Chains A and B, each alone.
Chain A
Amino acid sequence: MNTRRLRRYVEDLLRGRRPRPFPADERQAAEVRAAIALRAARPGGGAPREDFVAALHRRLATEFGTAAPSPATRPPTRRRVVQVASVAAAAAAVGGAGGAALDHALTGTGAGTDAGTGPGVTLRPNSGTWHTVAASADLAEGTVLAFDAGTLNGFVERTGGRLSAVSGVCTHLGCRLRLNATATELACPCHNAAFALGGELLRHQLPTVPAPLPHLAVREVDGAVQVFLP
């Protein structure tokens, strides 16, 4: 059966898709290694996409820089594009220890919710403000955007004309979730739990069922998508 998964891994590599790992024995690991060595030699394959370089630049600017991200380098939205939204400087400045503490607090099972299934609680900080996490224009129907506001990171989605936002931290042990390649679910890199973009638990391999992701209040004002954050 793992032979089939090896074949699929190789096929994904060949088609330029993100390959899925599997429990490989030594011989299979060697085949994966050889497939990578050959695939990496395909002419023109090793250069980064301009869109990626620009998007990472903007993300680093929100983390490390003072300069505002340049609109000129904004990549076109083609499909369900993942972009890291630039966040108001004030939100970024909050950062640090407060963020870590809050991430940790969010990992507790939400009071009053059924573990795993059903919608998560909506996080309403005692003293919060609305932070712009994206321009409306960047969040087209069917798009998901990741944001990191220092105190909190998460994902905003526009689907069926409605905005929703969830925390981007796994409710098991607090690892940061990743949007999968098809932008349909949030995967935890630590223990393979996965959540829907609405926060519901999709699957897990844990002895106790993790809580759904907390929702965040989200609104749209003057062409800006805003999330209510501490």
Chain B
Amino acid sequence: MTGPWVRDRHEVVQVAGREPSRIRGDTGTGEMPRLHLVGPDSYADWEAIYRDNVERVYRLMFRRVGNRSDAEDLTTEVFLAALGPLRTSASVGEVRAYLLTTARSVLAGHWRRTFGQQITTIDGDRFEDVLSEAPVNDAAAVRADRILAALPDRYRRILQLRFLEACTVKEAAEEMGITVGNAKVLQHRALREAAAVNERLAP
């Protein structure tokens, strides 16, 4: 690999962040940069960081915005913001911790810009807990199951059909043997109830 990465590898770690105290190994004294030997647990270059983490970051965002366009924009924003300061020999753990910190503030900025309030957040300081959501959207499925399980049958069914099985209102209405108008009303009421359940569940 070529480029500034190699040149930097035996020099200094400069993990610059808005919240440096969150970065593992930071002494909190503000004495960065520090000397840091490259271990086996570091990335070769920015591309390795990207390849290893792009899906994790995307899934993290998708789960919190629920749509591809926003998830793609926010993923882009995270890597554009994070890779500059991370052009170092930071360890895998440090890189992921920094990506997580960046993702948290990018998501907060997104909701501030759009709704003026935090609709969803990235909780948890350990990237292992948060970024390991990657391989499958298990965490999202578990959450949805918990919400649905607390609802009356018809509410659960309409939400399942529309949100999880991607049915149109018409298809969902046919499936349930009701009119399209009734299906819409049912969905509105069901979502309102689901929101109440969701708010009661721990984050």
A and B assemble together: yes
Interface on A for B, CB 8 Å cutoff?
7, 10, 12-14, 16-19, 21-24, 27, 29-43, 45-49, 52-53, 56-57, 59-61, 63-67, 178, 181, 189-190
Known: A37-B147, A64-B83. A30 touches B198 (CB 8 A): yes
Contact with A along B178-203 (1 / 0, CB 8 A): 00000000001001101111110000
Distance between Cα atoms of A189 and B110 in the complex (Å):
9
Which residue from A22, A27, A66 sits with its C-beta under 8 Å from B195?
Answer: A27
Knowing A29-B115, A48-B75, A60-B80 are in contact, say whether A41-B67 is a contact too (CB < 8 A): no
Q: Which residue of B has the minimal Cβ distance to A24?
A: B115
CA distance A64 to B82 in the complex (A): 11
A-B contact count (CB 8 A): 161
Bound state CA distance, A101 and B198, in angstroms? Answer: 47
A35 in complex: contacting residue of B2, B63, B66, B75, CB < 8 Å: B66
B2 contacts A66, C-beta separation under 8 Å: yes
Closest residue of A by beta carbon distance from B162: A14
**A42 contacts B164, C-beta separation under 8 Å:** yes
Can you show 6 pairs from A to B with CB atoms below 8 A apart? A16-B67, A37-B198, A41-B164, A42-B166, A49-B68, A63-B80
The residues of A that contact B194 with a CB separation of less than 8 Å are: 34, 38
A61 contact set on B, CB distance < 8 A:
47
Of B11-19, B53-61, B91-99, B122-130, the one contacting chain A is B53-61
Interchain CA distance A46-B54 in the complex, whole Å: 12
Complex Cα gap A65–B79 (Å): 13
Q: How far is the CA of A165 from the CA of B137 in the complex (A)?
A: 41
Contact count band on B: 35 or more
CB neighbors of A among B94-149 (8 A): 113-117, 119-120, 136-137, 140-141, 143-145, 147-148
CA distance A23 to B116 in the complex (A): 8
Kindly state the separation between the CA atoms of A67 and B188 in the bound complex, as whole angstroms.
51
Q: Contact check, B163 vs A43: say whether CB atoms are below 8 A apart.
A: no
CB neighbours (8 Å) of B192 from chain A are 27, 31
Cβ–Cβ contact B119 & A36, under 8 A: yes
Set of chain B residues within 8 Å of A190, measured between Cβ atoms: 113
State A31–B198 Cα separation when bound (angstroms): 9
A-B pairs, 4 with minimum CB distance: A41-B144, A21-B114, A36-B66, A18-B69
The residue that B198 contacts in the complex, of A33, A60, A65, with Cβ under 8 A, is A33
A59 adjacent to B76 (CB under 8 Å): yes
Interface residue from A37, A39, A60 paired with B83 (Cβ < 8 Å): A60
